[in-house]
Amino acid sequence: MAPGRHTVAVIGAGKIGELMLSGLLRSGWPVERLLATARRPARAEELTARYGVRVVDNLTAVEEAAVLAISVKPQDAATLLDEIGPKVPPDKLVISLCAGLPTTFFARRLPDGTPVVRVMTNTPALVDQAMTAISAGAHATGAHLALAEEMFTPLGATIRVPESQQDAVTALSGSGPAYFYLLVEAMIDAGILLGLPRQVAHELIVQTAIGSAVMLRDSGEHPVKLREAVTSPAGTTISAVRELEKHGVRAALLAALEAARDRARELAAQAE
Ligand SMILES: NC(=O)c1ccc[n+]([C@@H]2O[C@H](COP(=O)([O-])OP(=O)(O)OC[C@H]3O[C@@H](n4cnc5c(N)ncnc54)[C@H](OP(=O)(O)O)[C@@H]3O)[C@@H](O)[C@H]2O)c1
């Protein structure tokens, strides 16, 4: 399908919705093929001023757009679907960006046979470096998945996963940027503890993070191999690694991601 042939409505254009709008525009999606909806008039004005996008009410979006990208918070999804669900013709494609919500949540509130695709993206979409995982609901075909990919590929990498893996994806890549920011923040603090000016510590760690990320992506090496290359016998790195292990950093990450996965499940249960 040619880019921008379909009208896409971003329903509930908050942080993630805006990031999707701006990404589609950067990729050349025509602005006249985009719609947005917002709850507050001030937000609507902001979106139009920033992107020139037409902001309409939810029912107009349902009527005019071929693709409905739902980006409200999971806890707001049921109210939204009470409003629009019965009005969605089953030939529209519904793309959910909501963390935790299974496609069955939407299917129950949409006319029979409406295709739903579940997507989990992340905030590096702002710099076209997102990781987006895409899953088909019961009535979504290969063509629907391809259309979702067409929309998210310009924002970064995409991967197809079975829907059963989406809560784990949410824990890993959906929330993932926050873990890296926390690590960077802590390492900058460590630099300050060691007497470096904040700006210098910031520069050192941010560039180290970028360099390490590019190595991870481009070398094809396992992270253990890359770490071993920096870990010489009786050297400085192994002294740091010992402290990380002693303080349970690995166990903390396992527990943290499990907690994020469980929270995704809780949000889905609460949204019902
Ligand atoms: N933030 C992330 O990193 C991230 C990553 C992956 C996935 N997600 C998922 O993306 C979704 C949105 O998250 P977010 O961080 O973008 O939240 P957000 O900034 O609160 O955006 C949601 C927007 O939807 C609007 N809204 C709520 N109900 C509406 C309705 N009935 N009609 C029209 N607009 C409505 C809200 O309006 P108000 O401004 O009036 O509240 C808000 O602007 C969530 O389901 C989340 O799980 C987020």
Specify the pLDDT at position 3: 53
**143 vs 149: CA distance, rounded Å:** 10
What is the predicted pLDDT for the residue at 240? 97
Task: Count the neighbouring beta carbons within 10 Å of the beta carbon of residue 247.
Answer: 10
pLDDT, mean of residues 48-56: 97
Taking 70 as the threshold, does the pLDDT of residue 4 lie above it? no
- Note the pLDDT of residue 1: 42
What per-residue confidence (pLDDT) applies to 244? Answer: 97
Instruction: Identify which of 11, 20, 55, 73 to mutate to test ligand 1's pocket (most ligand atoms within 8 A of the CB).
Output: 73
Per-residue pLDDT averaged across 89-113, rounded? 94
CA of 96 to the centre of ligand 1 (A): 11
Domains of the chain (ranges, CATH numbers): 8-163 (3.40.50.720), 175-268 (1.10.3730.10)
Q: Tell whether pTM > 0.85.
A: yes
43 close to ligand 1 (CB < 6 Angstrom): yes
CA angle 64, 65, 69 (to 5 degrees): 140
pLDDT of residue 195: 98
Nearest to 124 by CA among 156, 97, 149, 95: 156
122 annotated to bind ligand:
no
Q: How far is the CA of 13 from the centre of ligand 1 (A)?
A: 6
CA 53 – CA 22 distance, rounded (Å): 10
Strands of 93-96's sheet in order across: 54-55, 34-37, 8-11, 67-70, 93-96, 116-120, 130-136, 156-160
